[in-house]
Amino acid sequence: MKPAPTLSTAFLRPAGQSLPEPLLALRKQRGTALVDMPLPTRKTENWKYSSKYLKLTDDMAISLPADGKAGSSLAVPGYKVVFLNGVMMPEASEYPDLDGISIQSFGDLSDEEATELADRLDSTLDNKAVQMARLNSARFEDGLLIRLKPDAVLDQPLFIVHEVTASASGSAFPRVFVDAGRNSQITLVEEYISSGSETVMVNTVTEFNVAEGANITSVRLNMEGENVQHIGATGVRQQRSSRFESHCVGFGGPLRRHDLQVRLEGEGAECKLNGVVVTQGKQHYDNHTNIEHVAAHCNSEETYRNIAADQSHAVFNGRIHIHQDAQKSNADMNNKNLLLSNGAEIDTKPELEIYADDVKCAHGATIGQLDEISLFYLVSRGIGRREANVLLTMAFINELVEQIPVEAVRETAQTRLNQFFDQTFEEA
């Protein structure tokens, strides 16, 4: 039998050293644990449909240098933090200067702060389920620590622009850690973009610790190029009566993987997870979500939509785990999929594990094509075929796009969607 492939040791060579000592130590320890780490294969359950898209070559092992200029293509209004190849760029950033909100680069932390952070990094994620997130912990060069004091409210969204410049092969390991105090509020927008055309990997981890009564909105927009393999994980821990709302919008690529893990640990916590994925050409996109109902009286609501054109491949795996003590849990998961061509593939799998007896749990998944009768109805009114296709495709995701609470993101997404429609639906 062929031995299972392991992560090449090239990926475990020491990286840049400009971090406080406690974080360097943590990174080293995480790296050591990765020796002989098996890479996902077809037989790895949670990579079953996606392992074939993961193509890590040794020349991608090097950290992309953060010496370029951050040429963010996004005209981002208001507060922003720009990462270039996983390293924060203060001069391109615009930090809020508000009481109760601190925004720091990992590199600027005191040893004391860094020790505290090192203790908490990875604590929102189930490392077994998100193997590849461990690589980020072994390799991050920098990171963003956002701390909100109790009752602190950020008055407008904070954009985090994760840009990679792929003028050579390599990888970037952006890291974000959010510590939201009691009753604090923030809207965070993470945008992933790229320039250049060499083969690169973006391996990213974002963690949210949401204290009692805090209200967090996370928007994630993936618009990286055709040369970027993206493996991202988001971990969330929610305490009593907190709310976490997530809006993920992603366009496909050679490999796109996002794991979103939410733990509802305090009574009355609720989360709402929305997702829209659009793939075309030979692109791929894989969303894995996991909601852990640990405490009683929590609500989760999840709505994901995939649209796959051409020969592209979209995957959705939604797990809901209701623990034994999580009585009166309310979980609702819905995944609908639209195939725009016979060559496209969509795999969807809801996974429910329920160990409490007094819960409400609903789930549904469908895969379909544009409805011929609806199409006929529209064109019978003189509407062109292309336009009719666009109307029906937008109808499939409208509700989710409209719910994105940040106008600039809705606009960026719509522009990219229009481009997708131009490429997918021919003029009659």
Partner 1 sequence: MLSIKNLHASVEGKEILKGINLEIKAGEVHAIMGPNGSGKSTLSQVLAGNEAFEVTSGEVTLNGENLLDLETEERAREGIFLAFQYPVEIPGVSNLQFLRTAVNAMRAHKGEPEMNAAEFMKLAKEVSKQVDLDPAFLKRGVNEGFSGGEKKRNEIMQALLLQPKLAILDETDSGLDIDALQVVSKGVNALRAEDRAILMVTHYQRLLNHIVPDHVHVLAGGKIVKSGGRELALELEERGYGWLGIKDEETADSSAN
Q: Which is nearer to partner 1, 98 or 379 (CB)?
A: 379
171 DSSP 8-state letter: E
Least distance to partner 1, CB of residue 391, Å: 5
Q: Which is nearer to partner 1, 97 or 372 (CB)?
A: 372
The amino acid at residue 257 is: R
Considering all CA atoms of the chain, what is the largest pairwise distance in Å, rounded to the nearest integer?
A: 69
Question: Tokens representing 123?
Answer: 């604590």
Alpha helices in 168-250 (DSSP H): none
Q: Which is nearer to partner 1, 36 or 372 (CB)?
A: 372
Give 317's strand partners: 288, 349
Q: Which is nearer to partner 1, 153 or 395 (CB)?
A: 395
Least distance to partner 1, CB of residue 371, Å: 8
Q: Which is nearer to partner 1, 29 or 369 (CB)?
A: 369
Q: Which is nearer to partner 1, 282 or 386 (CB)?
A: 386
> What is the pairing mode between strands 299-308 and 270-279?
parallel
Least distance to partner 1, CB of residue 208, Å: 31
Q: Which is nearer to partner 1, 29 or 398 (CB)?
A: 398
Report the C-alpha gap between 395 and 209 in whole angstroms: 35
Least distance to partner 1, CB of residue 258, Å: 25
Least distance to partner 1, CB of residue 428, Å: 7
Least distance to partner 1, CB of residue 365, Å: 18
Rounded to 5 degrees, what angle do the CA atoms 351, 205, 234 make?
35
Which residues are within 8 A (CB) of 44 and not within 5 positions of it... i.e. 6 or more apart?
38, 51
Report the C-alpha gap between 154 and 186 in whole angstroms: 5
Least distance to partner 1, CB of residue 383, Å: 5
Question: Tokens representing 355?
Answer: 């160990």
Least distance to partner 1, CB of residue 377, Å: 4
Q: Which is nearer to partner 1, 73 or 398 (CB)?
A: 398
Report the C-alpha gap between 402 and 404 in whole angstroms: 6
- Of 293, 351, 349, 296, which is closest to residue 322 (Cα–Cα)? 293
Cα–Cα distances in angstroms (integers) from residue 355 to residues 130, 226, 277, 361, in the given order: 23, 42, 31, 12
The site for partner 1 (CB under 8 A) is made up of 372-374, 376-385, 387-388, 391-392, 394-396, 398-399, 428
Cα–Cα distances in angstroms (integers) from residue 29 to residues 7, 147, 176, in the given order: 16, 25, 19
Give 248's strand partners: 220, 275
Least distance to partner 1, CB of residue 389, Å: 12
Least distance to partner 1, CB of residue 295, Å: 35
Q: Which is nearer to partner 1, 321 or 385 (CB)?
A: 385
- What's the first-to-final CA gap in the chain, in angstroms? 54
3-state secondary structure of 30: helix
Q: Where are the strands (E) in 265-359, listed by range?
A: 270-279, 284-293, 299-308, 313-322, 330-339, 345-354
111 DSSP 8-state letter: H
Nearest 10 degrees: Cα torsion 160, 78, 97, 209: -40
Q: Which is nearer to partner 1, 343 or 384 (CB)?
A: 384
